[in-house]
Amino acid sequence: MSGWIEAGDLEQRLGGLRGIGETPAGITRLAWTAEAEACGAWFADQAATLGRRCEIDPAGNHWAPPPSVDAPWWGIGSHLDSVRGGGSYDGPLGVAAAFEVASRADAPVAVICLADEEGARYNTPTFGSRALVGRLELAELLGRRDDDGITLRDALAAAGVDPGGLGRAPEWLGRLRGFLELHIDQTRELAQAGRPSGVVSSLASRLRLEVELLGRADHAGTTHREERRDAMSAAARLIVAAEDLAAGTPELAVTAARLLVEPNALTTVPARVRLWL
Average pLDDT for consecutive 10-residue bins of the chain (277 residues)? 84 95 96 98 98 94 89 96 96 98 94 97 94 88 95 95 84 92 93 93 86 97 95 97 93 92 96 96
5, 65 contact by CB (below 8 A): no
Reference 220, options 209, 210, 212, 231; nearest CA is: 231
CA dihedral defined by 171, 177, 181, 187, rounded to 10 degrees? 120
DSSP letter assigned to residue 179: E
Residue type (1 letter), 77: G
Q: How far apart are the first and last CA of the chain?
A: 44
Reference 118, options 206, 26, 197, 43; nearest CA is: 206
* Same fold flag, 7-193 and 210-276: no
Note if the pTM is more than 0.85: yes
* Number of other CB atoms surrounding residue 102 within 10 Å: 24
Alpha-carbon span 3 to 26, nearest angstrom:
33
pLDDT in the model for residue 2: 64
Alpha-carbon span 32 to 161, nearest angstrom:
9
Report residue 200 CA to chain centroid gap: 19
pLDDT in the model for residue 139: 83
DSSP letter assigned to residue 163: G
Task: Please count the CA atoms within 13 angstroms of the CA of 242 that sit on its side-chain side.
Answer: 16
Alpha-carbon span 156 to 251, nearest angstrom:
36
CATH 3.30.70.360 fits 210-276, yes or no: yes
pLDDT in the model for residue 1: 61
Phi, psi of 212 (to 5 degrees): -115, 125
Alpha-carbon span 159 to 212, nearest angstrom:
31
Query: What residue segments make up the domains of the chain, in order of their start?
Result: 7-193, 210-276
Superfamily designation of domain 7-193: Zn peptidases (3.40.630.10)
pLDDT in the model for residue 71: 85
- Angle between the N-to-C axes of helices 92-104 and 7-14, in degrees from 0 to 180, rounded to the nearest 10: 120
